[in-house]
Structure 1
Amino acid sequence: MKKFLVLFGSFLFLSFSSTEIKPYRKGIDFFKGTYLEALEKAKVENKPVFLDVYASWCGPCKKLKKTTFKDEAVGEYFNKNFICIAIDGETEEGSAIIDKYRVRSYPTLIIADYEGNMRTKTTGFLKPHILINFGKRIIP
């Protein structure tokens, strides 16, 4: 009888506790591939490209990845409106991007059209609402 009461009490407790499942919070979904492949995808989808040029040792770059890029509102806006890609500036591909866009510091955030023409750029750590406003310079 004691086991039954414990089991029944546990069942009642669980049935009245919150079973709300919170949706998975997703930030920016970065394209896995090369910058040229991202431009091709952008052309097919008729979207601009959001490019994060970073370095693995860069503190503000790490902070962007851990906070701003994981923000739900940032993810919703950028995933809907851009093809997003992050490129390590200290790779061969990154070196070409640094030359093309005259990157002088990390992180550098660039919005380019699908032909690779830069539309706007900014540098440094940005809070989520500031990053969204940066994107809205191109897509209101």
Structure 2
Amino acid sequence: MKRILLLLAVFTTAFTNAQKINWVTFEEAIGLQKKTPKKIMMDVYTSWCGPCKMLDKNTFHNKDVVDYVNKNYYAVKFNAEGNEKVNYKGKVFSNPNYNPANAKRRNSAHELSRYLQVQAYPTIVFLDEKGEVIAPIRGYQTPPQLELYLKMFSKDDHKEIDTQEKFNVYYKAFKPEFKG
């Protein structure tokens, strides 16, 4: 019986670990890029945002998304209304109007979220291997919806898509493989 429980515990732990994105801080991701260049996928969320929680639960725990993100990106979770200080491009970004009493509800926007052009929650900000913003993608994304952006940015296809018309052609031709 002990062996069965031990095997079950090992299997459960392995399965649980396999279903998790390897989240790091923004500064860690920027540092990791210097050693091993990869793009960054940054989940910009707030603690009170319902669609942010759905994105985390339904999309960021999807096996296809987890595997693809862990292989091709440094993944960052960033509270757009939090109070952490972040050093980016030689500037320290903070949230000077942060109110600790509002930690679980609407608070002031962090300077970094404004700098990254985040205007709604959730927003997934994609950055290139040098930490430059590629694009902020607003709103809840299902795994197949997010797959389009994950693959487009990781393969640098976005560099050839400079008009809405070209994006529409790319979008229509894209065949999602992620289950969702």
Report TM bin, short chain: 0.7 to 0.9
Q: Distance in 2 between matches of 1:97 and 1:132?
A: 25
Listed one character per residue, the Cα deviations across residues 37-62 of structure 1 (whole Å, up to 9, x for unaligned) are: 21111231110111010000000000
1:113 is matched with 128
> How far is 1:120 from its partner?
1.9
RMSD: 2.0
Partner of 1:26: 19
Identical amino acids, percent of aligned pairs:
31
User: How many residue pairs get matched?
Assistant: 119
- Decide which structure has the larger Cα Rg and report it: 1
Structure 1 partner of 2:140: 125
Give distance in 2, aligned partners of 1:132 and 1:115. Answer: 22
Question: Structure 1 unaligned runs (5+)?
Answer: 1-20
Q: So what's the TM-score if we normalise by structure 2?
A: 0.60
Distance in 1 separating the partners of 2:83 and 2:58? 27
1:42-91, CA deviations, whole angstroms, 9 ceiling, x for partnerless residues? 23111011101000000000001111000000001000000001000011
8 Å contact kept, 1:27–1:74 = no
Matches of 1:38 and 1:48 in 2, distance apart?
9
Q: Could you say which residue in structure 2 is the equivalent of 1:53?
A: 44
AA at the equivalent of 2:76: I
For 1:21-100, list aligned pairs within 5 A.
24=15, 25-31=18-24, 33=25, 35-93=26-84, 95-100=110-115
Report the alpha carbon displacement of residue 116 of structure 1 after superposing the two structures with TM: 2.3
CA distance in 2, matches of 1:96, 1:38: 18
Deviation at 1:113, TM superposition (A): 1.8
- Distance across 1 between alignment mates of 2:137 and 2:83: 22
**Partner amino acid for 1:78?**
V
In 2, Cα distance between equivalents of 1:27 and 1:126: 17
Tell me the TM-score normalized by structure 1. 0.76
Task: Work out the CA distance in 2 between the residues paired with 1:37 and 1:135.
Answer: 20
Gaps of 5+ in 2: 1-10, 85-93, 95-109, 156-180
Letter of the aligned partner of 1:60 in structure 2?
A: P
Answer yes or no: is the 8 Å Cα contact 1:39–1:116 preserved in 2.
yes
**Structure 1 letter corresponding to 2:133:** M
Q: Which letter does structure 2 place at the counterpart of 1:120?
A: A
Query: What residue number does 1:11 align with?
Result: none
